[in-house]
């Protein structure tokens, strides 16, 4: 039976509701607008774009994919894409593996040193060596300018381990015991029984790791010097922030005219995958933010 | 079991505890060729240099100013947005606006700054807007030190309001509906209900988020600032983290930057512990 509200809305309430809808719509539109501007700009006529000074909500002049053509011909974008996809997949794998192991080990009551290890790890949340000493360690390990430099130093986070541990601790011990009785080893128990049961938490972990890795650029700045290992964001940085040109000197005059168009297209090329994916992952990251807030 | 644990503990030792020993560099005239054990010890010289240098007071002031502004605007904004969203009855409208509000969060820092650079350049959208409002001529806003704080804070709020509101929307939905009904029967209007039921209901969430935020007060957005600042705006944009970066990777003065980094970490940790302790004294919620 549907219970309907019998209280009548007072005039002040109605005015409030109207304002509310207006404000929320304004926020939503403001969130959308800059990206819409960039998107529409990327489809616009380059000359009109350069001289434009307002917000664009529809392609200026004749809509064309000219800018995209230029950007997609730029070899470095492809190098960046290839590297970034590699970093995302590899990092998700490494971090996922290590975090699950960590969460599993730290949730087992039969692990006598559980609390010691937990305290050992948690201390690093409060205090760390800082940018320079960490750099020195990576350098000392000869990891600088390698792919691993972006994968290993960022492999683990105490926060993630705590979340994973909380999720795994929620799984009844009896499952593990019966698996043991059936002769399963540690790894079998972990990946065939425990992991499928905390799929949601694991999915959230992977999601946040992936998004973080896709957007990462500072560690690349610190640890990498050879361009062939740069993630996509580094090339974007050269293009957008440091204003470097995409091409060699003899083409640069015509490139200058198209600067804004090329910038916009590069932005869209790097961001469209994420923009398309995030609405579908909404369920996961909303769930993730919530479990992150409940400390184990 | 113990074997499984080894790679994890080893990782933490290598990447977290060993760098902590690197803090020793902060007390030395560190030279790469001599290493930690070969470089001469200078005690607190770097710290003294830092605090007496002209850059220090500027960097510390800017760090505090930007942190404070961030706290003032970026912390309440998601809360208010969540409160407003909570009043919306129309489900589809709520879902659509929420999804749209998350969009800025997923844009990478580099792209965000690329957009900012474009919007604030001489012919850019925001520069034009500012020029019309203030009646001055159009200028490159990122080259003007007095605009840096606003650009930084506004873009933070833009990126953070949607995603930040997720946790508060979730907390709001866990407030007991019966409390609202009881209040309505007692004659409380919506505003009073918000004040006396909603806010106390999400108070613990707010406090935890605040404690977490305090822990990163001094590390304020170094990546974003690194992307947006330039020598023209150093006077308002240079913060402790960017100073550390410049000193280490552009001037190769590792000892100095380690000392400053150490100072940064220590203050952050103290702030975190202090806020945690205060919150434990005055309410039941705390992080530790």
Q: What CATH number corresponds to the domain at position B225?
A: 1.10.3720.10
Contact flag A28-B96 (C-beta cutoff 8 Å): yes
Cβ atoms of A163 and A291 closer than 8 Å:
yes
pLDDT(A248) > 60: no
User: Model confidence at A294, in pLDDT bands (50, 70, 90)?
Assistant: low
Q: Does B161 touch chain A (CB under 8 A)?
A: yes
Helical segments of chain A, H only: 11-42, 46-51, 66-73, 75-107, 114-126, 131-140, 148-151, 158-169, 173-181, 186-188, 195-197, 199-214, 218-223, 232-240, 252-257, 259-277, 282-293
Cβ atoms of B198 and B83 closer than 8 Å:
yes
For B85, the closest chain A residue by CA position comes to A24
Q: Does A24 touch chain B (CB under 8 A)?
A: yes
pLDDT score for A90: 94
Domain boundaries, chain A: 11-64, 74-293
Asked if the structure places residue B186 within a domain, the reply is yes
pLDDT score for B287: 61
Hey, of B2, B16, B166, which one would you mutate to test binding to chain A, going by the most A CBs within 10 A of its CB? B16
Hey, of B8, B73, B237, which one would you mutate to test binding to chain A, going by the most A CBs within 10 A of its CB? B8
pLDDT score for B216: 72
Closest CB from B15, B99, B261 relative to A279:
B99
Q: Which residue has the tokens 């792919």?
A: A147
pLDDT 10s digits, A10-61: 788 888 889 999 999 999 999 999 999 889 888 888 877 777 777 778 887 7
Å from A140 to nearest chain B CA?
Answer: 11
HEC assignment per residue over B69-97: HHHHHHCHHHHHHHHHHHCCCCHHHHHHH
Contact flag B19-A129 (C-beta cutoff 8 Å): yes
**From A18-27, A113-122, A123-132, B120-129, the region with the lowest mean pLDDT:** A123-132
Asked if the structure places residue B250 within a domain, the reply is no
Q: How many domains does chain B have?
A: 1
Q: How many CB atoms lie within 10 A of CB B135?
A: 7
Q: Does A257 touch chain B (CB under 8 A)?
A: no
pLDDT score for A261: 85
Asked if the structure places residue B287 within a domain, the reply is no
Cβ atoms of A236 and A267 closer than 8 Å:
yes
Average pLDDT over residues A183-200: 81
By C-alpha distance, which of A149, A114, A117 is closest to A134? A149
Q: Kindly report the average pLDDT of chain A as a whole number.
A: 82
Q: Which residues, 6 or more positions from B285, have their beta carbon under 8 angstroms from its beta carbon? A: B203, B204, B207, B208, B279
Choose the CATH number for A74-293 among 1.10.357.10, 1.10.10.10, 1.10.3720.10, 3.80.10.10.
1.10.3720.10
pLDDT score for A25: 93
Domain that holds residue B264: 57-240+260-282
Q: Does B61 touch chain A (CB under 8 A)?
A: no
Q: Does B56 touch chain A (CB under 8 A)?
A: no
pLDDT 10s digits, A59-94: 877 788 888 888 888 888 889 999 999 999 999 999
% chain A with pLDDT above 70: 91
Span between the terminal Cα atoms of chain A, in Å: 39
Measured in degrees and rounded to the nearest 5, phi and psi for residue B250 equal: -110, -30
pLDDT(A293) > 70: no
Asked if the structure places residue B154 within a domain, the reply is yes
Asked if the structure places residue B193 within a domain, the reply is yes
pLDDT score for B78: 92
d(CA A130, CA B265): 7
Residues of chain B with pLDDT under 70: 1, 31-38, 284-288
% chain A with pLDDT above 90: 11
d(CA A288, CA A159): 12
Closest CB from A24, A54, A132 relative to B84:
A24
Q: Does B60 touch chain A (CB under 8 A)?
A: no
Asked if the structure places residue B129 within a domain, the reply is yes
Q: How many CB atoms lie within 10 A of CB A269?
A: 20
pLDDT score for A84: 93
Average pLDDT over residues A142-146: 86
User: Model confidence at A296, in pLDDT bands (50, 70, 90)?
Assistant: very low
For residue A16, list chain B residues with Cβ-Cβ distance below 8 A: 87, 190
Contact flag A236-B110 (C-beta cutoff 8 Å): yes
ipTM of this predicted complex? 0.81
Contacts 24+ apart (CB under 8 A), B43-47: B46/B255, B46/B256, B46/B258, B46/B259, B46/B260, B47/B259, B47/B263
For residue A135, list chain B residues with Cβ-Cβ distance below 8 A: 248
């Amino acid at each position: 039976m549907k219970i309907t509200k019998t209280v009548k809305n007072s005039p002040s309430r109605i005015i409030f509701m109207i304002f509310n809808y207006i404000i929320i719509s304004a926020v939503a539109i403001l969130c959308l607008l800059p990206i819409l501007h960039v998107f529409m700009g990327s489809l616009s006529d380059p000359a009109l774009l350069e001289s434009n000074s307002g917000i664009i909500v529809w392609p200026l002049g004749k809509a064309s994919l000219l800018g995209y053509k230029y950007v997609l011909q730029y070899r470095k974008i492809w190098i960046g894409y290839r590297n970034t996809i590699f970093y995302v997949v590899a990092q998700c794998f490494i971090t996922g593996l290590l975090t699950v192991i960590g969460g599993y080990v730290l949730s087992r009551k039969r692990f006598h040193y559980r609390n010691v290890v937990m305290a050992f790890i948690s201390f690093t949340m409060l205090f760390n060596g800082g940018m320079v000493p960490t750099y020195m360690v990576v350098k000392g390990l000869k990891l600088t300018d390698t792919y691993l430099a972006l994968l290993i130093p960022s492999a683990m986070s105490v926060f993630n381990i705590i979340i994973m541990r909380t999720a795994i601790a929620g799984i009844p011990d009896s499952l593990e015991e019966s698996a043991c009785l059936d002769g399963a080893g540690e790894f079998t128990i972990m990946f065939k029984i425990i992991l499928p049961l905390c799929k949601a938490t694991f999915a959230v972990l992977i999601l946040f790791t992936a998004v973080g890795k896709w957007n990462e650029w500072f560690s690349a700045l610190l640890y990498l010097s050879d361009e062939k290992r740069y993630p996509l964001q580094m090339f974007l940085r050269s293009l957008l922030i440091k204003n470097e040109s995409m091409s060699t000197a003899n083409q640069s005059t015509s490139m200058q005219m198209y600067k804004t168009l090329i910038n916009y297209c590069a932005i869209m090329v790097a961001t469209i995958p994420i923009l398309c994916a995030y609405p579908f992952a909404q369920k996961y990251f909303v769930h993730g933010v919530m479990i992150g807030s409940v400390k184990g | 079991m113990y074997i499984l644990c080894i790679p994890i503990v080893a990782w933490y030792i290598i990447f977290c505890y060993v760098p902590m020993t690197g803090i020793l560099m902060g007390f030395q005239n560190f030279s790469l060729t001599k290493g930690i054990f070969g470089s001469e010890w200078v005690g607190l010289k770097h710290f003294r240099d830092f605090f007496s240098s002209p850059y220090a007071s500027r960097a510390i002031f800017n760090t505090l100013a930007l942190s404070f502004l961030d706290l003032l605007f970026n912390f309440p904004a998601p809360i208010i947005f969540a409160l407003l969203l909570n009043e919306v009855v129309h489900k589809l409208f709520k879902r659509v606006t929420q999804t749209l509000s998350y969009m800025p969060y997923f844009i990478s820092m580099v792209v965000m700054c690329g957009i900012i650079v474009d919007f604030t350049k001489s012919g850019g959208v925001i520069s034009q807007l500012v020029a019309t409002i203030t009646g001055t001529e159009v200028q490159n806003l990122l080259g003007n030190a007095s605009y840096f704080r606003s650009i930084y804070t506004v873009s933070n709020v833009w990126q953070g309001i949607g995603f930040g509101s997720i946790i508060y929307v979730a907390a709001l939905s866990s407030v007991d509906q019966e409390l609202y009904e009881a209040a309505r029967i007692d004659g409380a209007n919506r505003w009073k209900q918000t004040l006396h039921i909603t806010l106390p209901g999400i108070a613990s969430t707010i406090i935890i988020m605040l404690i977490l935020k305090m822990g990163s007060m001094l590390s304020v957005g170094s990546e974003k600032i690194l992307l947006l600042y330039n020598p023209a705006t150093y006077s308002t944009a240079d913060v402790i983290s960017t100073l550390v970066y410049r000193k280490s990777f552009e001037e190769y003065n590792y000892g100095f930057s380690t000392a400053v980094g150490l100072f940064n970490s220590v203050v952050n940790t103290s702030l975190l512990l202090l806020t945690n302790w205060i919150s434990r004294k005055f309410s039941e919620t705390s992080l530790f």
